[in-house]
Amino acid sequence: MNTVAALAPALRDAARMVARVAAGRSLAEEFSRLAEEGLETPRAALLDLTHGTLRRYGRVQLIVRELSRRGQPDALVEALLWCSLYALESGRYAEYTVVDQAVRACGLLERWTAKGYVNGVLRSYLRERGALEKRIRASDEARYQHPQWWIDILRSTYPREWEEVLAAGNSHPPMTLRVNAQRVSVPQYAARLAAAGIAARPLGGQALLLERALPAERLPGFDEGEVSVQDAGAQRAARCLDLVTGQRVLDACAAPGGKAAHILESAQVALTALDADAARCARLARNLERLALGASIRTVDCTRLEAWWDGAGFDRILADVPCSASGVARRHPDVKWLRRAADLPAFAARQAAILDALWQALAPDGKLLYVTCSLFPLENEQLVEAFVARTPRARRLPLPDGAPAQWLPGAEHDGFYYALIQKQA
């Protein structure tokens, strides 16, 4: 099937997935479901259409609202229009092809009566897009392609950088590698990449930033455990834990295992890795197996100390807590559609409960590294300051890498927050 002929079924499948995301389902769940059922549309095409559409929060919604002459359409037809607008703006297809294939997709979705409506909306967009851009610029959600509450928080928190942060959230993420220091040096692996025609540059530590993304299986030595894919921001964790051979280390929210693996690659430590999700723990085990690394993996909620802790204190604890994921929205664009401002206090309450529980398992003089992939102070600085203020013997330490606690997303890394807290003896 050629690319043009495949667009209608790809739009059909993408519209179904986007409609479910708009109704509250995660995109990862949708891809897992389709993988079990069998994908008719190539995964790469679906990734492009779904991610590209969902990154355009507000923009595609406004365009459909402005051009719809008969009120809000059926949810599936609306999602089809969103996906079709992304396809038009992507420049990958001729305009007439997108319109024709979107109309065909109506039939594949069994929305035959919507064919004329879809044709009319898309043709109106092509005629009126100049005027539409003026209306888009007048709407924060359409212009910046994020929810208004999200924009408001970033604007007040980062008055100089907020527009750059929002632009980064709409971009394609970088692909960064973590070279396994136990197997090969960064210069040696960079030379292997160059020999394979893969351009990359070092970012410090074990990180190499690829000029262009590619499937991990194409990386030299990937199957042999010489390299992993991990964002440079995430690679701060092992560096900031101040690891020493022989320590007892806990990774309390460990799956899928990137930070756990980096810990084991960095020092000879005894690692306990916890996660409440059995499927994610299985993925963690597979990742460690590929790297020939070993850890004690437990499927358990880390706050239920009685279910997993033997009473012996840990020298280092990594608390990479569940969060809004606002710093990695470009990798998970459905987050912008799924999150609500009211979710943030619930995340903060869960994060505080995790900190309170794990603090009990930290040995005297031990260090706990609190990590989120969030940009919101309620989950980060405000939460850590409140924890230190209410917790006896808790002392905030400078981060060993000398970098700021909050990293904003940019061309080289995603958005992460780090805080190192020591339990004074």
Helix (H) or strand (E) holding 371: strand 362-372
Type of residue found at 388: V
| Angle at the Cα of 117 from the Cα atoms of 139 and 73, rounded to 5 degrees | 55
Pair 280, 274: CB distance under 8 Å: no
The catalytic residue among 83, 240, 323, 373 is 373
Pair 145, 137: CB distance under 8 Å: no
Rounded to whole angstroms, how far apart are CA atoms 273 and 295? Answer: 7
Query: 323 an active-site residue?
Result: no
Q: What is the dihedral of CA 388, 389, 395, 399, to 10 degrees?
A: 50
Dihedral sign of CA atoms 46, 49, 52, 55 in order: negative
Question: Strand, coil or helix: what is 55?
Answer: helix
Q: Is the peptide bond before 256 cis (omega within 30 degrees of 0)?
A: yes
Pair 81, 60: CB distance under 8 Å: yes
So which residues are the catalytic ones?
373
